[in-house]
Amino acid sequence: MIIILHGAATDQNVDEVVGKLRENGYEANVSRGVERTILGAVGALEEPQKELLAERLTTLPFVERVVPILKPYKLVSREGHPEPSTIPVGDTTVGGRRLCVVAGPCAVESREQILATAADVKAAGATMLRGGAFKPRTSPYDFQGMKEAGLDLLREARQQTGLPIVTEVVDVRDLERVLEVADILQLGTRNMQNFALLSAVGECRTPVILKRGMSATIEEWLKAAEYLMARGNHFVILCERGIRTFETYTRNTLDLSAVPAVKELTHLPVFVDPSHGAGKRSLVGPLSLAAIAAGADGLLIEVHPQPEQAVSDAQQQLTPSEFAVLMSSLRPIVEAVGREV
Ligand code: PEP
Ligand code: MN
């Protein structure tokens, strides 16, 4: 349920409501707006106790209204948190006015490759560097990533450029090591419903990009995000990366309708990954523009010094100069939607 307090409610009033919720086994998520304070209560009281508690709270003079939450994802839902969430990462803020562009190779392949890419994407205006050290590959015979050595190279790339690092964790057993380097953890499409991994990442306070499962509905995706938030990690960024459809011309079908849809349903920032969405270099630019127009807070773009020699996702990675052209082409759209890059 959501408890909306009158504008004049004091900190003491908020504490009183939080206390009453805790007595009844609820956790409270407090959101202080300019006009009023809203508390999201998360717990498992059964009817009719739930109704009884709601009635008791309604009688408090500083409570304006108590609203039951109907959505199955309470913490993720906009019902309990009407303001969009912003997530600070390094010097930047995800979900703020500034568009966030995460760029870099699919996989960290060598020192030269990652350091050169990092310098190039930074020069072109990227906000963060991406690169997989642990790679979730469909075939067990494909390159699985440089693992720890890849993490060390990402750390070096951050030292050289100052760019925050986005990198994927594929296994709970690697989490501690990945956390030493990642400014944002990535949970990939194949792990969207790996509930053990979601729960472990939920215990961390490092922001996380949760990619949409390639066959996941929006509701399943939001419930996966709820796993993270229910464990206390409130720094969740959703990322649409294309879903499976009957179409085979593109690698996936980038579901841009998901961007305004999840923005209606949740307060979380939303990114779009047109590289995996399309799987084709030539489509990355147009889809990036469309994603921004649809309201995306950020983009994930694969960039490689020599895409044709990439050990993974060779078809979709941009060259650094293609990326620089893309960055300048974004500007008019970014400005048209009232943002900056
Ligand atoms: C990636 O970002 O390199 C990746 C593996 O993405 P996805 O999980 O969307 O396939
Ligand atoms: Mn990739």
- 241 pLDDT more than 70: yes
Output the CA angle 224-230-232, nearest 5 degrees: 120
Which of 29, 67, 75 has its CA nearest to residue 50?
67
- Identify the DSSP state of 308: G
Q: Which residues pair with 77 in a beta bridge?
A: 266
Distance CA 269, CA 116 (A): 29
Tell me the HSE value of 220 on the side-chain side, using a 13 A CA sphere.
15
Residue listed under structure tokens 């912003």: 86
- 70 pLDDT more than 80: no
Nearest atom, ligand 1, residue 300 CA: 2
Pocket-forming residues, ligand 1, beta carbon under 6 Å: 106, 132, 136, 188-190, 211, 241, 273, 276
Distance CA 226, CA 302 (A): 28
- Is 2-67's fold the same as 87-336's? no
- 153 pLDDT more than 80: yes
- 122 pLDDT more than 90: yes
- 46 pLDDT more than 80: no
pLDDT value of position 189: 98
Tens digits of residue pLDDT in 258-297:
999 999 999 999 999 999 999 999 999 999 999 999 999 9
Letter string b/e over residues 169-186, b meaning 16 or more CB atoms within 10 A of that residue's CB: bbeeebbeebeebbbbbb
- 72 pLDDT more than 90: no
Tell me the residues surrounding ligand 2 (ion) with CB < 5 Å.
106, 313
CA 228 to chain centre: 11
- Kindly indicate the confidence band of residue 251, based on its pLDDT and cuts at 50, 70 and 90: very high
Contact yes or no for 263/270 (Cβ under 8 A): yes
pLDDT value of position 237: 98
Distance CA 166, CA 239 (A): 13
| Residue ID of nearest Cα to ligand 1 atom 4 | 188
Mean per-residue pLDDT over the chain, rounded: 95
Q: Give the domain ranges of the chain.
A: 2-67, 87-336
Q: Identify which ligand lies nearest to the alpha carbon of 212.
A: 1
CATH number of 2-67: 3.30.70.1140
- Kindly indicate the confidence band of residue 133, based on its pLDDT and cuts at 50, 70 and 90: very high
- 43 pLDDT more than 80: no
- 44 pLDDT more than 70: no
The alpha helices in the chain, defined as continuous H runs, are 11-23, 49-58, 111-123, 148-161, 175-179, 195-202, 218-230, 258-265, 274-278, 281-293, 320-336
- Best probe residue, ligand 1, of 129, 146, 186 (max atoms within 8 Å of C-beta): 186
- Identify the DSSP state of 174: G
pLDDT value of position 188: 98
Distance CA 332, CA 37 (A): 37
Contact yes or no for 278/251 (Cβ under 8 A): yes
- Kindly indicate the confidence band of residue 71, based on its pLDDT and cuts at 50, 70 and 90: confident
Residue type, 253: T
Cα of 83 from ligand 1 centre, angstroms: 29
Distance CA 214, CA 242 (A): 6
pTM: 0.87
Tens digits of residue pLDDT in 31-42:
777 778 888 888
Nearest atom, ligand 1, residue 188 CA: 8
Residues in the chain: 341
Burial grade of 332 (CB within 10 A; 0-12, 13-18, 19 or more)? exposed
pLDDT value of position 256: 98
CATH of range 87-336; options 2.50.20.10, 3.40.50.620, 3.40.50.1820, 3.20.20.70: 3.20.20.70
